[in-house]
């Protein structure tokens, strides 16, 4: 990890998205409910981040690395 970052090598759009998740969690559930930091997993296409949300829900964000996927091909 670079400089102790939780999510290394992600661009500013992903970092802004992660910040919005925390803000939305506080808006909906208040300060008493904390959204966890999420866990980043490396995948063949880049990475994914999983969050455990209140109410036993899970949210997953898939991060695509353009150098690891084929250009102009569907990646289902």
Q: What is the pLDDT of residues 8-65, one digit of tens each?
A: 678 888 888 888 888 887 787 776 556 667 888 888 888 888 888 777 788 898 988 8
Q: For the residues of 30-75, what is the DSSP string, one character each?
A: -TTS-----EEEEETTEEEEEEEETTTEEEEEEEE-TTTS-TT---
Among 12, 9, 33, CA closest to 22: 33
Q: pTM of the predicted model, to two decimals?
A: 0.69
The 10 Å Cβ neighbour count of residue 47 is 19
List the one residue out of 32, 36, 34, 63 whose CA is nearest residue 47: 63
Tokens of 55: 């109410």
């Amino acid at each position: 990890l670079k400089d102790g970052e939780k999510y290394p090598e992600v661009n500013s759009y992903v970092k802004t998205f992660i910040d919005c998740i925390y803000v939305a969690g506080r808006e909906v559930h208040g300060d008493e409910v904390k959204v966890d930091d999420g866990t980043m997993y490396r995948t063949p296409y880049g990475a994914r981040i999983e969050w455990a949300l209140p109410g036993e829900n899970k949210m997953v964000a898939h991060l695509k690395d353009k150098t690891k996927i084929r250009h102009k091909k569907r990646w289902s």
